[in-house]
């Protein structure tokens, strides 16, 4: 019993540590790709001016990774489900739909799966 709780604390402490690293490092990782395919990731301080080009370790000029990359997708997500919804419905329509739906929940028409 004592051993198990000790192990749990150890895991908790480790994950807390890695969370702190993410939270407190105010920086942006910017990826550069050189013509030879080398990928260089540079940490820039938050708010720092990020150059479009960087000299690769092989000496070639690496360019900042383009729009269709994984890194950029995380920074600015492409169309979300919500965006697609808004293209078809106005916000007022959605509010009305939501209200209708919520009322159905309140009336017990739709079971709650939570
Ligand atoms: Zn290179």
Q: How far is the CA of 61 from the centre of ligand 1 (A)?
A: 7
Q: How confident is the model at residue 67 (pLDDT cuts 50, 70, 90)?
A: very low
The DSSP-derived string for 48-67 is PPPPSEEE-TTSSEEEE--T
Query: Cα of 77 to ligand 1 centre, how many Å?
Result: 28
Separation of CA 81 and ligand 1 centre (Å): 38
Domain boundaries, the chain: 27-64, 79-109
Positive or negative: CA dihedral 27, 31, 84, 108: negative
What CATH fold (topology level) applies to the domain 27-64?
Answer: Rubrerythrin, domain 2 (2.20.28)
* pLDDT tens, position by position, 2-30: 555 555 555 555 555 555 555 555 788 89
Between the CA of 48 and the centroid of ligand 1 the distance, in Å, is 24
Give tens-digit pLDDT for 69-112. 455 445 556 778 878 878 888 888 889 989 998 998 888 876 66
CA 6–ligand 1 middle distance (angstroms)? 47
Task: Specify the DSSP element, H or E, that contains 32.
Answer: strand 27-33
Record the pTM: 0.38
Known binding residues: 34, 38, 56, 58
Annotated binding site for Zn(2+): 34, 38, 56, 58
């Amino acid at each position: 019993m004592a051993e198990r709780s000790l192990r749990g604390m150890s895991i908790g402490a480790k994950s807390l540590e890695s969370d702190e690293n993410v939270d407190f490092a105010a920086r942006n990782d910017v990826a550069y790709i050189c013509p030879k395919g080398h990928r260089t990731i540079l940490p820039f301080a938050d708010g720092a001016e990020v150059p479009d080009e960087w000299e690769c370790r092989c000496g070639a000029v690496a360019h900042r990774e383009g729009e269709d990359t994984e890194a950029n997708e995380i920074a600015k997500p492409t169309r979300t489900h919500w965006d697609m919804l808004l293209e078809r419905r106005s916000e007022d329509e959605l509010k009305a739909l939501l209200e209708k739906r919520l009322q159905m929940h309140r009336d017990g028409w739709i079971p709650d799966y939570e």
